């Protein structure tokens, strides 16, 4: 199980049977999305914003604890955030308006608030998404997206990505070994050219594979939509459980707006 289901891309999945694991994938998706909306809706410049962020953080950490997702896994999930961090760090330097002195640097006050807010919002949303990824198998996520009426084309693209990530990765690996077996060591401009050629060859191969897969699908009666198996209806109770995260966040936001 776990990594065995979907290869590279499901390395993020932690097998388990906690309450969070057992929830229907589409309920979890709705939950994470609404949570992100509530987090993003928090006004950055409100004086109570830091308290609200802390509240949201508590809520996500509580869910992570129930799901058995450890701090190490959460931190690794945050790696995707790095580009945001760079952008957020730039903001206080480039934004205009009143300036404040921090450690001898002159920083924009609004830029500082915007940067911190951006960072906090991105971190909170990614933490929630990390818990989702750790408790839901990739193919279950796809079923969830499908039940949420995401266009079939997008679901199918994602499905093929999960299925073929390993196949294409394997091809890339073999090409690299073949390259190195002929004395290629990389580095320098010449190296870049070779890597570019590899990428081109990989693209052509993948494109051709795509055509062959399409033929194989047509041969088995494919007419543009992916047939799915039976799906069980979701009870009110699991919806309530799934939505407890965004509801808690919404309560924090409401409290901020009313009291702050």
Partner 1 sequence: MTAPPPSLLVEDLAYAYPDGHQALFGVDLRVERGERVALLGPNGAGKTTLVLHLNGILRAGRGRVAVAGLPVEKRSLQEIRRRVGVVFQDPDDQLFMPTVGEDVAFGPRNLGLPEPEVTARVAAALEQVHMSDAADRPPHHLSFGQRRRVAVATVLAMQPEIVVLDEPSSNLDPAGRRELAEVLAELPVTLLMVTHDLPYAAQLCPRSVILDGGTVVADGPTGELLTDADLLAAHRLELPYGFDPTPT
Q: Tokens 């050219």 — which residue?
A: 193
* Residues 6+ away with beta carbon under 8 Å from 9: 138, 161, 162, 165
How many contiguous H segments (helices) and E segments (strands) does the chain have? Answer: 10, 2
- C-beta closer to partner 1: residue 155 or 253: 155
Nearest approach, Cβ of residue 213 and partner 1 (Å): 5
Binding of partner 1 at residue 218 (CB under 8 A)?
A: yes
- How open is the CA angle 94-97-99, to the nearest 5 degrees? 80
| Main-chain phi, psi angles of 162, to 5 degrees | -65, -45
Considering the rule CB under 8 A, would residue 7 count as an interface residue with partner 1? yes
Site string for partner 1, 124-163 (x = CB under 8 A): --------------xx--x----------------xx-xx
State CA 77 to chain mean position distance. 8
Closer to partner 1 at the Cβ: 120 or 155? 155
Residue 59's Cβ-side half-sphere holds a number of Cα atoms within 13 Å equal to 27
With contacts defined by CB under 8 A, name the span among 16-24, 59-67, 108-116, 223-231 that binds partner 1.
223-231
- Which of 106, 228 has the CB closer to partner 1? 228
Q: Check residue 233 for interaction with partner 1 (CB under 8 A).
A: no
Residue nearer to partner 1 on the CB measure, 167 or 204:
167
Rule CB under 8 A: choose which of 228, 240, 251, 260 binds partner 1: 228
| 229 binds partner 1 per the rule CB under 8 A | yes
> Per-residue string for binding with partner 1, 177-216, x by CB under 8 A?
--------------------------------x--xx-xx
Q: How far apart are CA 59 and CA 214, in angstroms?
A: 44
Point out which residues pair with 106 in neighbouring strands.
101
Please report the DSSP string for 182-242 in residue order. TT----HHHHHHHHHHHHHHHHHHHHHHHHHHHHHHHHTT--SS------PPPPHHHHHHH
4 is a contact residue toward partner 1 (CB under 8 A): yes
Which residues bind to partner 1, rule: CB under 8 A? 4-7, 138-139, 142, 159-160, 162-164, 166-167, 209, 212-213, 215-223, 227-230
């Amino acid at each position: 199980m776990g990594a065995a289901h979907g290869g590279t891309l499901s390395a993020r999945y932690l097998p388990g049977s906690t309450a969070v694991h057992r929830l229907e994938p589409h309920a979890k998706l709705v939950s994470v999305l609404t949570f992100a909306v509530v987090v993003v809706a928090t006004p950055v410049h409100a004086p109570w914003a830091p308290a609200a962020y802390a509240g949201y953080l508590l809520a996500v950490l509580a869910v992570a604890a129930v799901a058995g997702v450890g701090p190490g896994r959460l931190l690794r999930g945050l790696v995707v955030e790095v580009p945001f961090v760079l952008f957020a760090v730039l903001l206080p330097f480039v934004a205009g308006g009143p300036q404040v002195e921090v450690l001898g640097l002159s920083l924009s006050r609004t830029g500082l608030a915007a940067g911190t807010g951006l960072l906090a919002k991105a971190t909170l949303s990614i933490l929630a998404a990390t818990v989702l990824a750790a408790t839901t198998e990739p193919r279950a996520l796809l079923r969830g997206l499908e039940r949420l009426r995401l266009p079939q084309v997008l679901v199918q693209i994602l499905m093929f990505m999960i299925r073929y990530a390993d196949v294409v990765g394997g091809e890339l690996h073999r090409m690299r070994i073949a390259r190195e077996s002929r004395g290629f060591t990389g580095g320098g401009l010449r190296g870049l050219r070779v890597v570019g050629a590899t990428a081109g060859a990989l693209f052509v191969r993948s494109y051709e594979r795509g055509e062959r897969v399409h033929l194989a699908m047509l041969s088995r009666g494919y007419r543009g939509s992916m047939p799915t198996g039976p799906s069980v209806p979701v009870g009110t109770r699991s919806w309530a459980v799934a939505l407890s995260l965004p509801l808690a966040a919404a309560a924090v936001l409401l409290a901020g707006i009313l009291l702050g």
